Structure 1
Amino acid sequence: MPHSGCWTMSRWRKAVSSWLLRRLPRQQQLVLGQSRIYLLPTAFGWGLLLVAWAVWIGALNYAVSLAYVLSFWIVSLVLIAVVLAYRQLAGLAIRCGVVDDVVAGSHALFPLQLQWPEGESRLLRLGWHDEAGGVVLDRPGEVLLPRLTLQRGQMTIPPLRVYSESPLGLVRAFAYLRLQTQVCVYPLPCADERAAASLPDGGQLREQQPVPGELFSHLVAWQPELGARRIAWKAYARRGVLLARRFEEPQAARATCLLEWSAYPAEMAAEARLSRLCWQLLAAARRGEDVVLRLPQQELRLTAGEVRPGLRALAGFGVRDAQ
């Protein structure tokens, strides 16, 4: 029976929590006020109120004046605790900074910035709404809150819970927070020993455009921004036209690999393909190769080292939000 009672209480708390969260819009930044802060007695507070009720019943039966005083004093203490607990959260401003992209199965670190008026002493606990515990805060600043990512996609920051039982421990002030912050969760790379294909239109190598260097290339019309040192005086003496010397250095040829969704067996699962494409994309970046990534209804051409657009395309393929 005790186990059943605890289970029923847990269901009740989850139902209340879900109802409160549905009422809250997502915001980039929020400041806690009267409409966002909830107050409930702690177990110690309920016990003290029960004592006050018992003392008051005894005072009624035995007409003991001191018992009346004691019961009213206890109730007054709890009321004072309500005000003090509310002040722990009132005026608290919270926002989330930029979150670095992660791979599925790892922890995303959410940088949460909390501010409140200077000179006020507070003791708060911040954590996820569906997890016990949290980070204890006694001063304004930034805290990194980790969250396990379960699948790829755009993961919206889960609801947060901030609460305080200070300073008397009789009343808990708490609030739920829904922030508008997202993190991109990439597929978990899976080693793929299959050689990446080359482009079908002329092999794996292609010449790059020349870049500024030290080798003389040709003459161009002189512009003031080129400076007097670039003027070709011999050409000016022959033609009577100001020309500037152009120096270039051909860039070394760079490999271009082709990563295709259709290159894998038809029976291979989508997540397995994405994991292997992710691994191939990162491997090509380490080799300094350009990449052509072909997904169903999407094609990306990425220069060497430009992997983020490709990783984001793999992360968002066929999904909406990560968990």
Structure 2
Amino acid sequence: MLSAFSAALQRRFRNWVNRRIRPARTVTLGQRNLFIFPSASGWAYIFTLLLLWVLGTNYENSLILGLAFLLLSVFVVAILHTYHNLAALRLTLGEVKPVFVGERAAFRVRIQCKAGSGKGQVLNVGWRNEPCISLSLTGDEQDVELWAQSDRRGWLHPGRLKLESVFPLGILRCWTWLDLDAKALVYPRPIASEQAPWADAEGELDAHFQRAGSDDFVGLESYQPGQSLRRIAWKQFARGQGLMLKQFAQSEGQAQALDWHFFEGMDTENRLSRLCHWVLYLDQRGLPFSLALPGQVIPMGQGDSHRDRCLTRLALYGLETRSAD
């Protein structure tokens, strides 16, 4: 009964927080999103204050009563100082890079405060289901990197960000639960396979040939957005000739067609993991490739943007329809 009541109370509090603090990648702290309450030391402080007041009243001792009122005034002033430690802080979530299943995603949060007001503050920052880290503000602007573990492909949502401080006296805790709309794209875990999953339209393997390769240097060409950065001619760029790509040629370079149906008998996640491996394999060798998934086909291409597009389709396969429903 007690656990059910506690769960219902927490659920009501989360719903209230969701209505009060809306998702945003940049948030400025203030009265609407900051909460303050006595800490464990603060409750001991309050108990001591009440005890002194009872003793002073019972024995009509003005000295004890004066001490109790002095402690009460310190407590009231501490409320204002503890609140102003976090008030007006500005938090901004930076760009989040994709990761593979099993890796930890890094979320970079920039904390900005008024000139000269943040130095010396100690903050505890962390995601709801991750341990908090202590951060000492040493300037008017500081970056903190927070991590979240990924255990499945798709979008990783670490949840709300917890930010708290008990500075300066430790008897009051000022905190907030921020929704920075944080998410990281998680690619399938790459798993190598013995056979390559490509075939041509007639079902024959290795039937698509190209002239571009990686054996013999044949010249330079202008760089186009989306092409691989690994072939940039840096010497020519340093001479002020602009971005140019090195051209190579080989006799047996092959453009490959990655096909979902090659891995018959495997479940969805194993198929995606093996396709992910071959996307990375072909991209590292600068070979063009296409990707065929049930209901969607990515045409032949190459370069960083093409690789990222294929990995994104693999990461979100079967999840976009589910989320739409």
- What TM-score do the two structures reach when normalised by structure 1? 0.78
Please, which runs of 5 or more residues in structure 2 have no aligned partner?
213-217, 221-246
Q: Determine the structure 1 residue equivalent to 2:159.
A: 158
Q: Determine the structure 2 residue equivalent to 1:261.
A: 260
Say how many residue pairs are matched: 282
Change (3 A) 1:116 1:16: farther
- Find the structure with the greater CA-based Rg: 1
Identity %: 27
Q: Determine the structure 1 residue equivalent to 2:62.
A: 65
1:174 offset after TM fit, Å? 0.4
The one-letter amino acid paired with 2:316 is G
Change (3 A) 1:78 1:51: same
Q: Distance between the aligned counterparts of 1:52 and 1:158, measured in 2?
A: 38
The one-letter amino acid paired with 2:56 is A
Q: Determine the structure 1 residue equivalent to 2:293.
A: 295
The one-letter amino acid paired with 1:291 is F
Q: Determine the structure 1 residue equivalent to 2:190.
A: 189
1:72 offset after TM fit, Å? 1.3
Change (3 A) 1:208 1:20: farther
Change (3 A) 1:294 1:271: same
- What TM-score do the two structures reach when normalised by structure 2? 0.78
- Aligned partner of residue 254 in structure 2, secondary structure: strand
1:32 offset after TM fit, Å? 0.3
Report if the CA contact (8 A) 1:107-1:146 is conserved: yes
Residue 310 (str. 1) matches residue 313 (str. 2):
no
Report if the CA contact (8 A) 2:197-2:262 is conserved: no
1:130 offset after TM fit, Å? 2.8
1:9 offset after TM fit, Å? 11
- Aligned partner of residue 78 in structure 2, secondary structure: helix
Change (3 A) 1:285 1:213: closer
Tell me which of 192, 206, 209 is aligned to 1:206: 209
1:14 offset after TM fit, Å? 4.8
Report if the CA contact (8 A) 1:254-1:288 is conserved: no
Report if the CA contact (8 A) 1:88-1:123 is conserved: no
1:205 offset after TM fit, Å? 3.0
Instruction: Select between 36-45 and 190-199 the one with higher mean Cα deviation.
Output: 190-199
Q: Distance between the aligned counterparts of 1:155 and 1:174, measured in 2?
A: 24
Where do residues 29-178 of structure 1 align in structure 2 (5 Å cutoff)?
29-120=26-117, 121=119, 122-139=121-138, 140-178=141-179
Tell me which of 7, 19, 22 is aligned to 2:18: 22
1:274 offset after TM fit, Å? 0.6
Change (3 A) 1:76 1:15: farther
Change (3 A) 1:134 1:9: farther
